[in-house]
Amino acid sequence: MKAIILTLFLAVLSSASENNDVIRAQIIEKILSNISINEVITVWSDNKELIAQFKKNSNLTTTLYCEKATIIVIENKENLHGDACKNKPIFVLNYNLLKDIPDSFGAFFWKKGRPNIVIIEPRIESQDIKVSKELNAYVEEKVW
C-alpha cells in the first residue's frame, strides 16, 4: 500500500513540475510576442526545460547559440557568455538579475506563489523595444 501511495505522490509531483514549466513557457511566450525589437524574435535560454517547451508548444523560434539569438532569456548570470551575448535584449527569470544585469529589460519570476512580470521603462526605451498595450500594466520606472 505504501508503495502505491509513494508512486502516486511521485507521479503527481512530477506532473506538477512539468505543468509549472509549461505555464512558465506560455507566460514568457505571451510576453515576448507582445514586444517588438525590429527583428524576428529568436530566443536562446540557459534554461533547457524552457527551450524544450518553446520547441514543443510555441510559435517562438529558438536557437542553441546565444550569438544567433535576438532575445536572451537567462536564469543564471554565469551562463551569459561573451560580449556577443551581452549586447542583446535580455529577459531574466529572477528579479535580482534585473539589478545584476543592467542590459536586462524585464523579468518573469514567482513571488509568494504568484507569477510576477516586470518591464523596466528606461531600459526598453534605450534598447528601442516597443511594448504592446497588453504589457503596459507591467512597465515600471526602475528596479526596486
Whether residue 81 has pLDDT greater than 90? no
Phi-psi domain of 128 (left: phi exceeds 0; alpha: psi -120 through 50; beta: other): left
pTM over 0.85: no
CB atoms within 10 A of CB 48: 9
Residue-wise pLDDT for 88-100, tens only, equals 999 999 999 999 9
User: What distance in Å separates the CA atoms of residue 58 and residue 51, rounded to the nearest whole number?
Assistant: 10
Whether residue 24 has pLDDT greater than 70? yes
Query: What whole-number percentage of the chain has pLDDT above 90?
Result: 58
Query: What whole-number percentage of the chain has pLDDT above 70?
Result: 88
CB atoms within 10 A of CB 9: 10
Of the listed ranges 8-12, 77-81, 93-97, 138-142, the one predicted with least confidence: 8-12
pLDDT-derived band of residue 82, with 50, 70 and 90 as boundaries?
A: confident
Long-range contacts of 132-137 (CB under 8 A, 24+ apart): 132/34, 132/35, 132/36, 134/34, 135/31, 135/34, 135/35
Query: What is the model's pLDDT at position 13?
Result: 38
Residue-wise pLDDT for 44-66, tens only, equals 999 999 999 988 887 889 999 98
pLDDT-derived band of residue 17, with 50, 70 and 90 as boundaries?
A: very low
Cβ density class 27-46: b for 16+ within 10 Å, e for less? ebbebbebbebeeebbbbbb
Domains of the chain: 24-140 (3.40.50.2300)
Query: What rounded mean pLDDT belongs to the chain?
Result: 84
